[in-house]
Amino acid sequence: MMIGSERSGAQDSAELDRPLNRAELEHFCRSGLIREACRDKAFASFRDSIDWLLWLRLWTGTIGAIFLLAGVMFFFAHNWKGLSPLTRFGVLEVGLVLTVIGAVCFNVRATVGQWLLVAASVLTGVLIAVYGQVYQTGADAFEVFALWSALMLAWVVMAKFAPLWVFWLVIVETAMMLFAGQVLVPDRIADWSQVFIGMGLVTFGFLALWEWLHPKERFSTFRQNWIRFLLLAAGLFWLSAILWRWMFDLGYQSDRPEWSRWAGLLFWLVAVIGGICFFTRLRPSVLGMSLCVLDAAVIFSLMVARVVLEDTWDEPGGWLIGAVFAIGIFGGATLVILRLAKGSAGDEETGQGEET
Amino acid sequence: MTFRDLQKAGWLTVDRVDEAREWLCQGREEENRLPWVARFSMGLGAWFAGLFAIGFLALLFSEFGSVGGVGFIVLGLTLLGSGIRMIRLKKHVFLDQFALVLSFAGYGMASIGAEQVWRGYEDFLGSLLVSLFLCPLVYGLASHIVLRFMSVGWTWIAALSLASSEESLSVLLISLALGLAFVFLILSGRAQMRTWRPALIATLLGIFAAMWIMSGDFFENSYRVPFYREAYPVIGMVMGLGFVCPLWWLQRGQGLKSILALAVFALVGGAIGYFGGPGVGVALGLMAVAHARRDYWLGSIAVFALTGFMILFYYHLGVSLMTKSLSLMGAGVATLLLSFLIWRSDKYKDHKINSAA
């Protein structure tokens, strides 16, 4: 395929209506496209259009909240002996109550209220950890995370806030991984391939849920592409991990059944092919489709390397075959990306990356 | 401010409006022609296949008896030249991919050859010299964005490898000083961004890599004293302040308030760098510059860098959890208070009303 594509009038129009960046203005001035007498005015106008207060507020708020919550977590992680159990619970519970009341006062759908619910959710986790620490409940780590995710579920549903939703998902998946590491695998109920299949399915299940919900007006706050890429990348990671472990014999147990690896391969193939079809036809997304294509390219290249170099790593022929295959695989991947991107040119994600 | 705003204000040169519009739309067209994910795929493929190609050539020539350092350099330059020539033809995706792999392997072989020629001197000195020689040539001859990025990236890899392996403070300082000067040159608008963007991104990644090496090593130095220990606070401060310079340049002529705000920002960046978080200072500076230039790519790089360096800084901070906790809570409350004050300020409210209108 030749590299090239046509330009549409709609894209041109959109291009003329988007805010210019400084590099473009500099080019206009340098090439004399802006009248010399107006250059200073153009730069002054550009400087005025930069929203510093909003930027400062956004970042001081975000960094401040992260600092504060991390500080609270470290405070209790320190296992401070001088603090009586009553004080520990008191501080945490007061903090929890205040954040929840604050969220209700500000409205749980307002930005401040939503971030306060995130804070409340973090404090809930710390409270559970401190409870286990004080009363030595002997609870396994997965139980703590499972309880945490259960307790914050109501806030997640109420707030309809994407970061809180993702945070909850991270806790759920952590609980699942800990459960697998502490119960399923040691008790030989399942092997890691089966666990990763489960993790992949859960993650792709949430991706499907997101794809179903976000077009609805009630869930418009979820219309943020980063959630899609996060979930897709996580889902592909879990399924790809089965193949990496298989290829490089990591943690291989000869007495465990082989079918789980084959099942992992099958699920991975379905995920990659399904992802390419879905993000090409149903929900055009160049980035989503590219993630699937690139994951496949990396896996296939590693597979070829593993097969070719297994016994002949000190012979040039194997390396040559590896190079030829890698060129073919990545060239093919680029070709697929270009072909599919051309079909959805003008889609919001095909831009220069700014929109994403 | 949009293109149409410029047009409405009558600031565009009257007989060249179409040319300006055409240039602006051309950027989108180029992106549609080769989206950044496709470029990323080609770059990743070049690294993958290039490593195989280097392995193949190195083994092949070791089988036929050593061809010597000069032989490897000649071979590398031939491969690189062929790659650049092939890329200039712009025929097909596979040919482009093949050309990138040839160029990558060419760089690798030339570096191996140079290492053999300069054997007995410092490790990686040969690679650095070859990279320094090839970088401007490749940048000038090949307009392919991936190849340009790769040529600058190689130079940074060689320079940082030399600095680390030889524990050479002077190499580290010269690299950082040149990197800072280059970043200032580009971000202050003295050079064409479309041409120099690959070099800028590679340089920023190189600077961040240097900051990463320093930040990681500095705190967990139980087994050795880092070679930059003495210079660490000064480097940190200079780097923190260095990224405020382009910001000052972009915001100059904005009045006393702007200068004061910039001075406070410089003080914060310099202090963060001085007290052990050079990467944090640099990332904050880049975030502000990216915002001042409305450059979302640079902004994203800066946010990723900030996240990584914050984690690194607190992870390696040699104080008790209690001190970490108190300092984090104190900094958190202070920044939240600042955020609240901005939110409450009249200027912010006026601004919101104007934006809504």
Mean pLDDT per 10-residue segment, chain B (357 residues): 83 81 78 82 90 89 74 91 86 85 91 83 85 92 88 93 86 92 90 88 94 70 64 84 87 79 86 84 92 91 91 79 86 89 74 61
Among B15, B19, B48, B322, the strongest candidate for a mutation testing the A interface, having the largest count of A CBs within 10 A, is B48
Under an 8 A CB cutoff, do B335 and A3 touch? no
Nearest residue of chain A to residue B92 (CA atoms): A2
- Amino acid, res. B247: L
Under an 8 A CB cutoff, do A341 and B38 touch? yes
Tokens of B8: 């409405």
* Residue A93 predicted with pLDDT over 50: yes
Which residues of B are less than 8 Å from A33 in CB distance? 12-13, 16, 19-20, 23
Under an 8 A CB cutoff, do A4 and B33 touch? yes
**Which of A18, A286, A331 comes nearest B37 by C-beta?**
A286
Neighbours of B136 (CB within 10 A): 12
Under an 8 A CB cutoff, do B93 and A64 touch? no
Give the alpha-carbon dihedral of A26, B347, A55, B332, to 10 degrees.
150
Nearest residue of chain A to residue B295 (CA atoms): A21
Cα distances (Å, whole numbers) of residue A14 to A8, A192, B291: 10, 49, 22
Q: Which residue has the higher pLDDT, A139 or A129?
A: A129
Q: ipTM of this predicted complex? A: 0.82
**Which of B11, B42, B328 comes nearest A67 by C-beta?**
B328
Q: Assign residue B35 a region: left if phi > 0, alpha if psi is -120 to 50, beta otherwise?
A: beta
Under an 8 A CB cutoff, do B295 and A319 touch? no
Q: Output the pLDDT for position B132.
A: 93
Under an 8 A CB cutoff, do A341 and B35 touch? yes
Cα distances (Å, whole numbers) of residue A197 to A175, A220, A271: 16, 30, 11
Cα separation of A117 and A121, whole Å? 6
DSSP-derived 3-state class of residue B119: strand
Q: Are B195 and B145 in contact (CB under 8 A)?
A: no
Q: Output the pLDDT for position A256.
A: 64
Q: What is the pLDDT of residues A296-351, one digit of tens each?
A: 999 999 888 888 887 777 788 888 998 999 999 999 999 888 888 776 654 544 43
* Residue A352 predicted with pLDDT over 50: no
Q: What is the pLDDT of residues A161-218, one digit of tens each?
A: 888 888 999 999 999 999 999 898 888 888 888 899 999 999 999 999 988 988 888 8
Under an 8 A CB cutoff, do B1 and A3 touch? no
Q: Output the pLDDT for position B351.
A: 65
Under an 8 A CB cutoff, do B16 and A18 touch? no
How many Å lie between the alpha carbon of B52 and the closest alpha carbon of chain A?
Answer: 5
Under an 8 A CB cutoff, do A298 and B44 touch? yes
Which residues of B are less than 8 Å from A327 in CB distance? 45, 49, 94, 97-98, 101
Among A51, A74, A291, the strongest candidate for a mutation testing the B interface, having the largest count of B CBs within 10 A, is A74
Cα separation of A127 and A155, whole Å? 16
Tokens of B187: 């971000």
What is the three-state SS of B251-310? HCCCCHHHHHHHHHHHHHHHHHHHCCCHHHHHHHHHHHHHHHHCCHHHHHHHHHHHHHHH
Among A18, A22, A81, A225, the strongest candidate for a mutation testing the B interface, having the largest count of B CBs within 10 A, is A22
Cα separation of A59 and B107, whole Å? 41
**Which of B6, B36, B336 comes nearest A61 by C-beta?**
B336
* Residue A18 predicted with pLDDT over 90: no
Q: Output the pLDDT for position B78.
A: 94
Which residues of A are less than 8 Å from B293 in CB distance? 21-23
Spell out the residues 6+ positions from residue A59 whose beta carbon is closer than 8 angstroms to its own.
B287
Under an 8 A CB cutoff, do B193 and A23 touch? yes
Q: Output the pLDDT for position B275.
A: 81
Cα separation of B340 and B152, whole Å? 43
DSSP-derived 3-state class of residue A19: strand
Nearest residue of chain B to residue A16 (CA atoms): B3
Spell out the residues 6+ positions from residue A302 whose beta carbon is closer than 8 angstroms to its own.
A244, A247
**Which of B97, B331, B355 comes nearest A330 by C-beta?**
B97
Beta bridge partners of B12: A34
Under an 8 A CB cutoff, do A338 and B35 touch? yes
Under an 8 A CB cutoff, do A341 and B32 touch? yes
Which residues of B are less than 8 Å from A38 in CB distance? 9-11
Among A59, A118, A302, A349, the strongest candidate for a mutation testing the B interface, having the largest count of B CBs within 10 A, is A59
Q: Output the pLDDT for position A28.
A: 86
- Interface A:B, Cβ pairs < 8 A: 311
Cα separation of B70 and B117, whole Å? 7
Residue B127 phi/psi, 5-degree rounding, is -60, -40
B267-288: b or e for each residue (b if 16 or more CB lie within 10 Å)?
eebbebbbebbbbbbbbbbbbb
Residue A285 phi/psi, 5-degree rounding, is -155, 110
The closest alpha carbon to B17, from A28, A44, A22, A12, belongs to A28
Spell out the residues 6+ positions from residue A340 whose beta carbon is closer than 8 angstroms to its own.
A276, A280, A286, A289
Q: Output the pLDDT for position B29.
A: 73
Cα separation of A55 and B343, whole Å? 11
Which residues of B are less than 8 Å from A56 in CB distance? 338-339, 342
The closest alpha carbon to B305, from B285, B289, B319, B332, belongs to B285
Which residues of B are less than 8 Å from A18 in CB distance? 2
Which DSSP category does B319 fall into? Answer: S
**Which of B48, B326, B332 comes nearest A326 by C-beta?**
B48
